[in-house]
Amino acid sequence: MTTTQPGTQHQLVVEMRDITKKFPGVIANEDVTLEVRRGEIHALLGENGAGKSTLMSVLCGLYQPDGGSLHLALHQDELHQIVLRSPRHAIHAGIGMVYQHFKLIPTFSVAENVLLGAEDTPTVLDLKQAGARIKEIGERFGLPVNPEAKVWQLSVGEQQRVEILKQLYRGASLLILDEPTAVLTPQESDALGETMHSLAASGVSIVFISHKLDEVIAYADRVTVLRDGKTAATVDVVDVTKADLARLMVGRDVLFSVEKADADLGADALVLDHVTALGDRSVTAVNDISLTVRGGEILGIAGVAGNGQKELVEVMTGLRTPTAGSITVRGNDLTGKSAIDFIRGGVAHVPADRLGQGLAGNLPLTDNVILKSFRSEPISRRSFLNKKAIHELSTRLIAAFNVLPGNPDAPASGLSGGNQQKLILAREIDATDRLAVGDEPAVLVAVYPTRGLDVGAIEIVRDALLNQRAIGAAVVMVSEDLDELRTLSDRIAVLHGGEVMGIVDPKTTSKDDLGLLMAGERLS
């Protein structure tokens, strides 16, 4: 499993000693220690907010630590102490960071992107020679790309390869990968795993940041676990189980399964019939999709980001008008109607972009709570808002969903991601409750509902969705997390290129099959 070169085994290339980094009101890292060996794949595991990103930002020169010291042996054989003053300095020292959100310029070619960060770029660019060198490095490390292609034309997996190439081109011998699999299909993730192994075998050291236990066990040699800004442990992966890692990461035992009763299916709540819609750039983004969601079920929508999820959700919530096909909500044809008709018709929406679409950040929690119910009594009467009713509703929902800090008059932008999501869910579920009359189930469309949340908030969100299902609502859940889709959904529709590649039963469909569908191959 461990890939090291003879003679260099256990030779440290990075030692971060007692690193402390404070932000106003938060200690992001407290006495954190991280040791990386030459040619190893070292996972940095922790929940959101555990301090992984901060620690790596220190290592790549973006943040200055408030305490502790950094020692490197990337260009030398012996460890020596160094203060990284800037990202440029860190690059010079041999550290290459591959961010989760790629630092690539879409309108530039691959070669231009690579040259952008290279140290030895001549004043007058020689794109031909650079292209040849990129090809050569790509072949040496098993990362084939076309240097002349524009980045926006590449798939996500290819873009990631460009990011890695960019670091190798400038001579990085330590690669930091920030949640590299978050944007990849399972197959692309496995390809990345192989790339990491071949890089490690040729002496490159890799730190990859993750909060997914499975991939840590699959790809890493050693793992350092962070919890609440402190080092919980550094262990050899072969010595531990998934449950051990989970305990180190969360600080308590974690259940990997979710209690879920069998579906009690109700009436058809949301019916899409041969729906086609254009994206923002006037290209077909949703292509002839037919779906039926019934009350009492969760329909998962799987797919690599950018395959029509956004547009499909906008069609389902009345934000985008389809160019063909029809949408029926609770028996009413709402094709071509606006968002307000969809809301009145019984569709609630938990959007992907919490602060952009979900909340008005500068407004207090109270105003955000009534964003949908402000038209109706008792919240408003004859155009006048009822302060007392608003406060009662806000206080009730804040308490019910445990939104912290729960000051109803504080601006929503002050909440953490998890608490923002709880607030949105509170509002939307309150709306579904109002809309669910008699046998008519309401529709709840939740987009990436747990993305970026910590384990505690994820549990609350998942419970809320399952609870909606239990009381007969029709739930549509868009997610990138296959494990989440498989545990929560009753059926999973897989999108690729704006089309539904298949609607599958999560109980009988393997993760690999889902991956194939996501990559655009139909199952035979």
| Among the listed residues 185, 187, 138, 142, the one whose alpha carbon sits nearest the alpha carbon of residue 166 | 138
Segment near another protein (CB under 8 A); pick from 104-112, 132-140, 491-499, 504-512:
104-112
CB 499, CB 290: distance < 8 Å: no
x-or-dash string of contact with another protein, 216-235, rule CB under 8 A: --------------------
Among 87, 203, 279, 361, binds another protein (CB under 8 A): 87
Contact between 23 and another protein (CB under 8 A)?
yes
Question: Which letter, b or e, does each residue of 211-245 get, where b requires 16 or more Cβ atoms within 10 Å of its Cβ?
Answer: bbbebbbebbbbbbbbbebbbbbbbebeebeeeeb
Contact between 108 and another protein (CB under 8 A)?
yes
Segment near another protein (CB under 8 A); pick from 87-95, 247-255, 317-325, 356-364:
87-95
Segment near another protein (CB under 8 A); pick from 113-121, 212-220, 344-352, 516-524:
113-121
| Among the listed residues 171, 178, 175, the one whose alpha carbon sits nearest the alpha carbon of residue 200 | 175
Instruction: Reduce the DSSP state of residue 311 to 3 states and report it.
Output: helix
Interatomic CA distance for residues 188 and 169, integer angstroms: 22
CA distances from 67 to 17, 24, 224 (A): 9, 15, 20
Helix (H) or strand (E) holding 378: none
Instruction: Reduce the DSSP state of residue 455 to 3 states and report it.
Output: helix
Contact between 356 and another protein (CB under 8 A)?
no
SS (H, E, C) 178-246: ECCCCCCCHHHHHHHHHHHHHHHHCCCEEEEEECCHHHHHHHCCEEEEEECCEEEEEEEHHHCCHHHHH
Give 16-68 as a DSSP string: EEEEEEEETTEEEEEEEEEEEETT-EEEEE--TTSSHHHHHHHHTTSS--SEE
| Among the listed residues 356, 332, 342, 321, the one whose alpha carbon sits nearest the alpha carbon of residue 447 | 356
Among 32, 115, 347, 426, binds another protein (CB under 8 A): 115
Among 6, 123, 259, 508, binds another protein (CB under 8 A): 123
What minimum distance in Å lies between the beta carbon of 392 and another protein?
Answer: 34
Q: Which tokens sit at 201?
A: 């075998």
Contact between 97 and another protein (CB under 8 A)?
yes
Interatomic CA distance for residues 414 and 111, integer angstroms: 41
x-or-dash string of contact with another protein, 37-76, rule CB under 8 A: -------------------------xx-------------
Residue 160 vs 366, nearer CB to another protein: 160
What minimum distance in Å lies between the beta carbon of 387 and another protein?
Answer: 33
Residue 103 vs 140, nearer CB to another protein: 103
Contact between 107 and another protein (CB under 8 A)?
yes
Segment near another protein (CB under 8 A); pick from 5-13, 67-75, 120-128, 251-259:
120-128
Contact between 82 and another protein (CB under 8 A)?
no
Segment near another protein (CB under 8 A); pick from 110-118, 153-161, 227-235, 343-351:
110-118
Q: Report the first-to-last Cα separation within the chain, whole angstroms.
A: 35
Helix (H) or strand (E) holding 450: none
Among 4, 33, 121, 416, binds another protein (CB under 8 A): 121
Residue 26 vs 132, nearer CB to another protein: 26
What minimum distance in Å lies between the beta carbon of 113 and another protein?
Answer: 9
Among 10, 75, 103, 387, binds another protein (CB under 8 A): 103
User: Which residues contact another protein by CB under 8 A?
Assistant: 23, 62-63, 86-89, 91, 97, 99, 103-108, 112, 115-117, 121-125, 281-282
